[in-house]
């Protein structure tokens, strides 16, 4: 075997204009990475170059992903480039798989300067699906806007990248591998790890595992159905919920990560996790949960498939926060939600006199507040919720939070939800997604809409549908000033707020891989009518939203691709 030091090469390249690190990193169809020369290399080099050389040299970086097609190929390139860029140690999930919350946990635990996460979250996988590359920084959370902008700037002028093409890593075998390079850097090490134990340990310090075990496998235990949707959450669900907390093995399904997620979209909502909802309909299970492809998102269902909307989920957790021992110790510093998320959480914040922050979508905004000690619990309507134990949304954490509430209150999901609405009233919420819209059409629509809604005459305008009358109270393009570092983030969605507090919000998704996705978020508050059908309740506002935007006319669509 040749044991001479590995060669480090500098390879000339040409920039691409479109390598923007959005709220979910850089997401493209797999074939973009396969066919555009050095597309992957350019972006990885831009990430490494965004880190000051003094910080990078000898540093630790985490790498892992959701197990989708092309991840391992990409990881092998990342290893070769990390070595050539002076990184001292890479810690990688076995087979390249690690859930996003576990990566966040491990970045913090290993004092890494950051992590590269190979995930396109809820977007489809397989050879015809998407690929995503996300950079998380030393706090364990997604790159801030400033770091994302720096990466983008570098990618637009990049001329070369560094790589060790001869370095062949074994991603399958647990343990340490050491490589000698011909440059002056110390030996480069790669550690292949099983992150489940570290992550489980974190959760053990947050929740009362004995109480959870009693709930899930004690004498009068509840029965649960957990669907990992063939994503990265599977191994964690198996080992923590089944192995340690005693759920029967057959209560956890789709726990083997697959490169194409079994042909399904790993998006935990009623459309893509329909199998879970179906299996719960007959009342066999008391509690159900589905997890997103990289284990960050979650959907909670009660008996007979009772749906808990994500906006309600975080509000319920907030109202019962002291059922979670971690918060008994840390206290509660603040609550936060993304702007499109319904205001259910605001009502809890008001009642408990806890500060409430309203941020743009994307966990990086929450991370900034958490780092400053201002935030303990947050959530997004996009099926994300989490605490300040890490800096990512955390599906398993949210499920254990719900189970902790059930264990403490000895109530069903249905009773907990009903009680919540009785106490606070109900925020009905829905989101319409129009996917794969031509980008120019979508941008023009948003530009025209902004002109319409920000015109002075728009405020006080009335819209009548059937017997409902709505008067505009406020309309704007949402912008956010981070209370910690005063950075301003603009163009985060067009808001129409009516005098009764109902809202219509229009926004372009920042994470889609194909064309543009126009999202319309609709919510309204009801104090008395608590058990109505969400779509029926929000139908008048949906009609108004489509009328103002002329969305169907402009796009030729007759309805949304997805309703959540
Ligand atoms: C979506 C969600 C947002 C989440 C982000 C990253 O972004 O809406 O809440 O933080 O994914 O998971 P969007 O596609 O809407 O820009």
pLDDT of residue 43: 98
Contact 539, 526 (CB under 8 A): no
For residue 3, is pLDDT > 80?
no
Look at 250-254, 272-276, 322-326, 465-469 and tell me which has the smallest mean pLDDT.
465-469
Contacts of 451 (CB under 8 A, 6+ apart): none
Looking at the structure, do residues 215 and 302 belong to the same domain, yes or no? yes
Say which residue the tokens 């992903």 belong to.
65
* Cβ 432 vs Cβ 560: under 8 Å: yes
pLDDT in tens, 420-459: 999 999 999 999 999 999 999 999 999 999 999 999 999 9
Q: For residue 179, is it within any domain?
A: no
Domain finish residue from 396, 424, 452 = 424
CB 367 within 8 A of CB 139: yes
Neighbours of 51 (CB within 10 A): 23
The mean pLDDT value for 97-123 works out to 96
Name the residue range of residue 281's domain. Answer: 199-424
- What number of CA atoms fall less than 13 Å from residue 520's CA on the CB side? 28
Question: Which residue is listed with tokens 């902008």?
Answer: 149
Strand-pairing partners, residue 227, are 253, 290
Which residue shows structure tokens 């163009």? 491
Helix (H, G, I), strand (E, B) or coil at 7: coil
Order of all β-strands in the sheet with 516-526 = 462-465, 468-477, 494-498, 503-508, 516-526, 426-437, 562-563
Adjacent-strand bridge partners of 399: none
Confidence of residue 152 (pLDDT cuts 50, 70, 90): very high
pLDDT exceeds 60 at position 1: no
Domain holding 278: CATH number? 3.40.120.10
Contact 376, 327 (CB under 8 A): yes
Distance CA 139, CA 116 (A): 13
- Which of 392, 424, 456 lies at the terminal end of a domain, its last residue? 424
Count Cα atoms within 13 angstroms, Cβ side, for 188.
Answer: 28
How many Cα neighbours within 13 Å face the side chain of 286?
Answer: 17
| CA 551 to ligand 1 center in whole angstroms | 21
Average pLDDT for residues 8-37, to the nearest whole number? 95
CATH code for the domain of 530: 3.30.310.50
- Across the range 198-204, mean pLDDT stands at 94
Lowest-confidence pick of 340-349, 383-392, 444-453, 511-520: 511-520
3-state secondary structure 432-476: EEEEEECHHHHHHHHHHHHHHHHCHHHCCCEEEECCEEEEEEEEE
Residues 166 and 300 in one domain: no
Cα 23 to middle of ligand 1, angstroms: 6
Q: Inform me whether the pLDDT recorded for 482 exceeds 80.
A: yes
Q: How many domains does the chain have?
A: 3
Q: What are phi and psi of 93, to 5 degrees?
A: -65, 140
Reading the block at residue 289, the tokens are 């949960």
Q: Whose CA is nearest to atom 12 of ligand 1?
A: 24
Rg of the chain (C-alpha set): 23
Q: What is the pLDDT of residue 185?
A: 60
Which positions are annotated as active-site residues?
A: 121
pLDDT in tens, 495-541: 999 999 899 999 999 888 888 999 999 999 999 899 889 999 999 99
Rounded CA separation 407/473 (Å):
43
Residue 24 lies in a domain: yes
pLDDT of residue 277: 96
- Bridge-based pairing of strands 377-380 and 335-338 is parallel
Task: Compute, in angstroms, the gap from residue 517 CA to the centroid of ligand 1.
Answer: 11
Residues 266 and 217 in one domain: yes
pTM of the model: 0.95
Same domain, 352 and 329: yes
First to last CA, the chain: 57
What confidence score (pLDDT) does residue 531 get?
A: 87
Contacts within 8 Å (CB) and 24+ apart, 174-179: 174/94, 179/6, 179/83
Question: Which among 361, 363, 392 is the best mutation to test ligand 1's pocket, defined by most ligand atoms within 8 Å of the CB?
Answer: 361
Q: Looking at ligand 1, which residue's alpha carbon is closest to its atom 6?
A: 24
Three-class SS state of 86? coil
pLDDT greater than 70 at residue 75: yes
Is 438 in contact with 365 (CB distance < 8 Å)?
no
Ligand 1 interacting residues, C-beta cut-off 6 A:
23-24, 121, 338, 361-363, 380, 382, 509-511
pLDDT at 23: 84
Q: Which of 424, 451, 467 is where one domain is finished?
A: 424
Rounded Cα–Cα distance for residues 486 and 458 (Å): 30
Residue nearest to atom 2 of ligand 1 (CA): 382
Is 464 within the bounds of a domain? Answer: yes
Q: Give residue 467's pLDDT.
A: 87
Residue at token pair 């990193």: 25
Give the DSSP H or E segment for 478.
none
In a domain, 55, yes or no: yes
Same-domain check for residues 430 and 419: no
pLDDT in tens, 284-337: 999 999 999 999 999 999 999 999 999 999 999 999 999 999 999 999 999 999
Based on the domain organization, do 419 and 433 belong to the same domain? no
pLDDT at 485: 92
Query: Which residue out of 379, 391, 510, 521 has the highest number of ligand 1 atoms within 8 Å of its CB and is therefore the one to mutate?
Result: 510
Residue 282 has pLDDT above 60, yes or no: yes
pLDDT at 184 over 70: no
124 domain residue, yes or no: yes
Of the candidates 429, 420, 414, 418, the one whose C-alpha atom is nearest the C-alpha of residue 521 is 429
Share of the chain above pLDDT 70, in %: 99
Distance 336 CA to ligand 1 centre (A): 15
Question: Would you place residue 392 in the very low, low, confident or very high pLDDT band (cuts 50, 70, 90)?
Answer: very high
Report which ligand 1 atom has the smallest distance to the Cα of 512: 14
- Whether 523 and 502 have beta carbons less than 8 Å apart is answered as yes
Residue 349 and residue 449 in one domain: no
Q: 24: CA distance to ligand 1 center in Å?
A: 7
Q: Hey, whose CA ends up nearest to atom 15 of ligand 1?
A: 509
For the chain, give the percent of residues with pLDDT over 90: 93
Same domain, 402 and 438: no
What pairing do the DSSP bridges indicate for beta strands 480-481 and 384-387? unpaired
Q: Is residue 236 part of a domain?
A: yes
Backbone phi, psi, residue 32, to 5°: -65, -45
In a domain, 486, yes or no: yes
| pLDDT at residue 386 tops 90 | yes
If asked whether residues 271 and 319 sit together in one domain, one would say yes
Contact 297, 384 (CB under 8 A): yes
Spell out where 30-179 has E strands.
60-65, 89-97, 114-118, 130-137, 160-163, 175-179
| 35 CB-near residues (< 8 Å, 6+ apart) | none
pLDDT greater at residue 38 or residue 512: 38
Instruction: Output the six-digit token pair for 541.
Output: 């506002």
Going by pLDDT thresholds of 50, 70 and 90, the confidence category of residue 202 is: very high
**Considering the domain boundaries, does residue 98 fall inside one?**
no
Is the distance from CB of 449 to CB of 506 less than 8 angstroms? yes
| DSSP code, position 322 | G
Helix, strand or coil, per DSSP, at residue 380: strand
**For ligand 1, atom 4: residue with the closest CA:** 362
User: pLDDT tier at 186 (50, 70, 90 boundaries)?
Assistant: confident
Question: Are residues 148 and 37 both part of a single domain?
Answer: yes
For the stretch 207-219, pLDDT in tens is: 999 999 999 999 9
Residue 454 contacts residue 477 (beta carbons within 8 Å) = yes
Helix (H) or strand (E) holding 308: strand 307-308
Identify whether residues 287 and 231 lie together within a single domain.
yes
Q: How far apart are CA 255 and CA 231, in angstroms?
A: 7
The 3-state secondary structure of 498-533 reads ECCCCEEEEEECCCCCCCEEEEEEEEEEECCCCCCC
| 508 lies in the same domain as 386 | no
């Amino acid at each position: 075997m040749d044991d001479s030091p590995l060669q480090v090469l500098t390879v000339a390249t040409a920039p691409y204009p479109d390598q923007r690190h959005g709220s979910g990193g850089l997401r493209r169809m797999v074939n973009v990475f396969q066919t555009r020369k050095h597309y992957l290399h350019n972006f990885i080099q831009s990430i490494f170059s965004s880190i000051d050389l003094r910080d990078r040299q000898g540093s630790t970086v985490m790498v892992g992903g959701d197990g989708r097609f092309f991840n391992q190929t990409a990881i092998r390139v990342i290893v070769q480039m990390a070595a050539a860029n002076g990184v001292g140690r890479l810690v990688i999930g076995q087979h390249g798989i690690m859930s996003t919350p576990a990566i966040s946990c491990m970045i913090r635990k290993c004092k890494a300067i950051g992590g590269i996460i190979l995930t396109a979250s809820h977007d489809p996988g397989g050879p015809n699906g998407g690929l995503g590359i996300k950079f998380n920084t030393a706090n364990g959370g997604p790159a801030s806007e400033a770091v994302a902008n720096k990466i983008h700037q570098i990618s637009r002028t990049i001329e070369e990248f560094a790589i060790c093409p001869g370095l062949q890593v074994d991603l399958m075998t647990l343990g340490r591998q050491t490589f000698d390079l011909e440059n002056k850097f110390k030996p480069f090490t790669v550690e292949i790890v099983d992150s489940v134990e570290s992550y489980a340990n974190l959760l053990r310090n947050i929740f009362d595992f004995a109480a959870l075990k009693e709930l899930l496998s004690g004498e009068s235990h509840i029965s649960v159905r957990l669907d990992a949707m063939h994503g990265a959450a599977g191994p964690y669900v198996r080992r923590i919920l089944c192995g340690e907390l005693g759920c029967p093995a057959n209560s956890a399904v789709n726990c083997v990560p697959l490169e194409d997620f079994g042909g399904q979209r790993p998006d935990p909502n009623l459309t893509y996790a329909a199998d879970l909802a179906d299996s719960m309909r007959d009342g066999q299970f008391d509690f159900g949960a589905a997890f997103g492809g990289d284990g960050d998102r979650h959907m909670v269902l009660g008996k007979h498939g009772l749906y808990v909307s994500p906006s309600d989920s975080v509000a319920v957790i907030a109202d019962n926060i002291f059922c979670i021992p971690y918060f008994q110790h840390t206290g509660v510093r603040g609550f936060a939600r993304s702007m499109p998320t319904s205001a259910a959480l605001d009502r809890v914040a008001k009642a408990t006199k806890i500060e409430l922050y309203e941020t743009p979508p994307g966990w990086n905004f929450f991370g900034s507040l958490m780092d400053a000690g201002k935030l303990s619990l947050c959530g997004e309507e996009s099926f994300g919720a989490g605490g300040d134990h890490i800096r990512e949304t955390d599906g398993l954490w949210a499920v254990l939070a719900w189970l902790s509430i059930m264990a403490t209150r000895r109530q069903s999901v249905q009773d907990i939800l009903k009680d919540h609405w009785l106490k606070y009233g109900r925020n009905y919420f829905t989101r319409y997604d129009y996917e794969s819209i031509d980008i120019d059409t979508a941008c023009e629509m948003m530009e025209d809409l902004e002109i319409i809604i920000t015109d002075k005459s728009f405020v006080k305008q009335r819209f009548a549908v059937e017997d409902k009358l709505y008067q505009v109270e406020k309309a704007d393009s949402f912008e956010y000033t981070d209370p910690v570092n005063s950075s301003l983030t603009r163009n985060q969605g067009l808001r129409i707020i009516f005098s009764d507090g109902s809202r219509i919000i229009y926004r372009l998704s920042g994470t889609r891989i194909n064309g543009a996705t126009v999202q319309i978020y609709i919510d309204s508050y009801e104090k008395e009518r608590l058990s109505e059908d969400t779509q029926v309740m929000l139908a008048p506002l949906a009609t108004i939203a489509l009328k103002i935007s002329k969305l169907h006319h402009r796009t030729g669509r007759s309805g949304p691709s997805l309703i959540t």
